Structure 1
Amino acid sequence: MKVFVWRHNRKYHSYSMINEPNVHQAMYNDAVLAVAADSLDEAYEMIERRSEGWVVEELKRLEPKIFDLTCPAVVFQDVRGS
């Protein structure tokens, strides 16, 4: 089992970044998604089945961080501010 983590930040999004992925149907500044699955394909299938606004084709443009659950790891940390 692995944990796949995608993060996309649009804080500085502008028309000059028109080709940036749009990973969720909602307007967002920072989108984070973590999925536990055996493979990346299984993770994408789970995301599509849940129908919670994630755009899988756009997620595929990003490379997720992958954590193997057989060894200890810091899976997530978040620091926000200026």
Structure 2
Amino acid sequence: MHLYIWRHSKRFSSWSMLDEPHIHRENYLQADVTVLARSRDEALHLLAKNGNWNIEELQRIEPETIPLDAPRIVISHVDCQ
């Protein structure tokens, strides 16, 4: 099993970034989702069943993939303004 983590921020979005992904069906400033699955395809399938995530847009972003076979830091987040 692996953790698949997709993150996307629109914090510094501008009109010059018209082709920027929009990964969640609601408007957002920052969105992330973490899925426990055997494969990336299975993770995307679970997200599709949820109905809140834009699968085509998520496919444009390479998720961080974390194998669960050894101890490690799973998530670390720092938001400085």
State TM-score, norm by structure 1: 0.94
Matches within 5 A, 1:55-74: 55-74=54-73
Output one character per residue of 1:2-25: Cα deviation in whole Å (capped at 9) or x when no partner. 000010011011110000100011
| Runs (4+) off by over 6 Å | none
Percent identity of equivalent pairs: 36
Q: Cα RMSD (Å) of the superposition?
A: 0.8
| Deviation of 1:75 (Å) | 1.4
Give the number of aligned pairs: 81
State TM-score, norm by structure 2: 0.95
In structure 2, stretches of 5+ residues that fail to align are none
What's the counterpart of residue 46 of structure 1?
46
In structure 1, stretches of 5+ residues that fail to align are none
Matches within 5 A, 1:1-82: 1-51=1-51, 53-82=52-81
